[in-house]
């Protein structure tokens, strides 16, 4: 298994050189792929990687999937109903998970990421790091959001992806979801 730091170094080189025009896309979208068993290692490395990017002249911005999901669900109109239902039957998570998934798949998370990308459009040397993708389980996968945002990535955007590569463009989220080849991005690691 390659080291996370070596993969991050390769990622930086690819960002510096930009994307080559290809059949899929020319947007500056990158995935740093790592084993789900290394999620904590990635979180520990994030301050050092952020500092490295800043030292290299980047204006670093973080979009935490965890923080945004917590905010969306914490302010959802159905929150009281979810809490009441959970209190009555705390072992039945199926209906609650489906309701939470419906709330997130209505476009609220995508809208927040799109707004963040729009905010960065006019900033020089901006780079967006999208972290905590594991928080999407069991609701959705990031590929669905990336597809809907095609054409809106103007600043380099790095997704820290816990999963496996199963081909040049195919990824397996968290190592157990079926692999998905609909990613229009550069993949490093995995």
Q: What is the C-alpha separation between 119 and 51, in angstroms, rounded?
A: 21
Arithmetic mean of pLDDT, 139-147: 79
Angle, helices 93-104/65-74, rounded to nearest 10 degrees: 110
Residue 153 backbone dihedrals phi, psi, to 5 degrees: -90, 100
Average pLDDT of the residues of the chain = 81
Higher pLDDT, 148 or 93: 148
- CA–CA separation, 116 and 5 (whole Å): 27
pLDDT of residue 21: 46
Q: Where are the domains of the chain?
A: 4-189
Nearest to 184 by CA among 125, 142, 155: 142
- Would you call 140 helix, strand, or coil by DSSP? coil
**Gap between the Cα atoms of 145 and 113, Å rounded:** 9
Query: Of all residues in the chain, what percent carry a pLDDT higher than 70?
Result: 81
pLDDT average, residue stretch 127-153: 84
Integer CA distances (angstroms), 67 to 8, 85, 115, in order: 23, 24, 15
Residue 22 has pLDDT above 70, yes or no: no
Higher pLDDT among residues 84 and 125, named by residue: 125
Omega of the bond leading into 138 within 30 degrees of 0 (cis): yes
Per-residue pLDDT, 84: 74
Q: Does domain 4-189 have CATH number 3.30.43?
A: no
Distance CA 102, CA 32 (A): 28
Q: pLDDT band at residue 160, thresholds of 50, 70 and 90?
A: very high
pLDDT-based confidence at 59, cuts 50/70/90? very high
């Amino acid at each position: 298994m390659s080291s996370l730091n070596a993969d991050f170094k390769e990622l930086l080189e690819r960002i510096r050189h930009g994307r080559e025009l290809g059949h899929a896309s020319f947007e500056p979208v990158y995935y740093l792929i790592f084993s789900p068993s290394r999620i904590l290692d990635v979180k520990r490395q994030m301050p050092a990687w952020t500092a490295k990017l800043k030292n290299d002249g980047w204006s670093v911005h973080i979009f935490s999937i965890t923080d945004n999901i917590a905010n969306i669900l914490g302010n959802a109109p159905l929150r009281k109903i979810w809490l009441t239902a959970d209190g009555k039957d705390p072992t039945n998570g199926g209906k609650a998970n489906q309701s939470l998934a419906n709330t997130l798949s209505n476009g609220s998370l995508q809208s927040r990421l799109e707004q963040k990308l729009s905010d960065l459009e006019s900033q020089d040397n901006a780079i967006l790091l999208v972290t905590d993708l594991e928080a999407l389980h069991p609701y959705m996968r990031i590929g669905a959001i990336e597809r809907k945002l095609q054409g809106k990535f103007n600043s380099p955007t790095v997704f820290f992806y816990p999963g496996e590569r199963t081909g040049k463009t195919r990824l397996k989220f968290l190592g157990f979801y079926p692999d998905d080849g609909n990613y229009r991005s550069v993949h490093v690691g995995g």
